[in-house]
Amino acid sequence: MSKLGLSESGKESPPTLTLCALTYHRPVGVAQMLAGLGQLTFTGLPPELRIVIVDNDPDASARVAVTDAAKSIPWPVSYHVEPRRGITYARNRALSEAGDSEWIGFIDDDEIPSPDWLDQLFRVQREYDADVVSGPVIAEFPPDTPRWITTGDFFSQLRYTTGTCLPYCFTNNVIFRTRILRELDLCFDHRFALMGGEDRDFFQRIGLAGYRIIWADDACVHETVPESRARARWLLQRSYRLGNTLSVVDIANIDSLKTRLRLVTRACWCVVRGAFFLPLTWPLGREYPVLYLQYIFWGAGMFAGMFGSRYAEYKSVHGD
C-alpha cells in the first residue's frame, strides 16, 4: 500500500497537488466552484494544494470572478489565459502550470465538490495504491426543470463499487500522478480540440499503459444542470457526440479488426434497440421516446466516427 512520504524529521509529509479547472464564459460558475473548494475538509493530513484556473476566452472574462473568489479560500490560486481556441490547448496549458506537484487534479467549472471530496480521493489512492482516482458527478436540477428530464434520469452516470479498476475516466472529477506525463510523454491530443473526448483518450492511453485507474464512489462533486441542457435537442446532440468520440478514440488507440468489429456490433445494437422500442413509447411520456432516440443517435455517431467523421461540438462555441 502506498504511504505518504516522510520528511527529514521522520513525520509524514503531505502529498502536493495542483488542482486544475478550465473555464469559458462561466464567471459565476467558476466562482462557485472556488467557493466550494474553500469548504474542503480533511480527516488526515491535508495535501499541499494549489489551484490553477485556465480561461480559454482571449478576453479573460473570468479574471475578476476568479480574483475575487480567490481572496476567500485558504489556498493559492493562479489565473491564466489560453487564447488558442480548443479544449486541448486549455488542458495542456493547465498541465504546464502544474510545476513539480506530485499530483494533478481536474474539476469542471460548473461543479461544486462535497466537503470531503479530495479527502476521499486520497484515501482511496492510498488504500489501492492507485495511479489515477476518479469519482462520480451528481446531477442536480433547478426547481423549474421539466419533469420529464428528472424522471428520465438522463444525467446520471455509471457508478461503481469503490476500488473498481477502470479502463479510463474523465476530467470532471479526477487526480493522477504527475510522473505519468513524463513516463508516457503524455499530453491531450489536439485532434480532439474542437470535438471533445480528449479526456477519455488521455486516460484510456494511461490505462492501456498499465497504470491503475481506480473508482472512489464517495468522492462526489455536484453539477447543476442548466436550462440549456434540459432539452431533447441537447440530449440527442450529446448522444451523437458521445458515440462519435467513443469510436474515434477507440480506433485512435487500438486500430484493429477486433476493435472495429466490436464498435460495429455495439453501434448496430444501439440503433436496432432504439428503432425497435421507439414506436412503442409515444403513449408513455416524453422521456421514453427521447431515451430510445438517444440509442439511435449514439449508434449513428459511432458509425460516423468509424468512417472518419468527427462531430466538432466546440467548433462554433465552447460550453454547454
Nearest to 140 by CA among 9, 273, 32: 32
- Res 48: pLDDT: 96
Domain boundaries, the chain: 16-229, 232-306
Class of domain 16-229: alpha beta
| Rounded-to-integer distance, Cα 198 and Cα 297, Å | 20
pTM: 0.91
Here the cell at position 249 is 478514440
Give the residue ranges of the chain where pLDDT is below 70: 1-11, 314-320
Residue (of 7, 16, 1, 13) closest to 179 by Cα position: 16
CA pair distance 178, 74, nearest whole angstrom: 23
Question: What pLDDT, on a 0 to 100 scale, did the predictor assign at position 315?
Answer: 62
87-96 and 198-208 are packed helices; what angle lies between their axes, rounded to 10 degrees?
50
Q: Are 223 and 140 in contact (CB under 8 A)?
A: yes
Task: Reduce the DSSP state of residue 22 to 3 states and report it.
Answer: strand
Question: Are the C-beta atoms of residues 263 and 251 closer than 8 Å to each other?
Answer: yes
What pLDDT shows up at residue 42?
95
Q: What does the pLDDT look like over 86-111, one tens digit per residue?
A: 999 999 999 999 988 999 999 999 99
Give strand pairing partners of 20.
Answer: 52, 106
> Apex CA 28: angle with CA 170 and CA 87, to 5°?
35
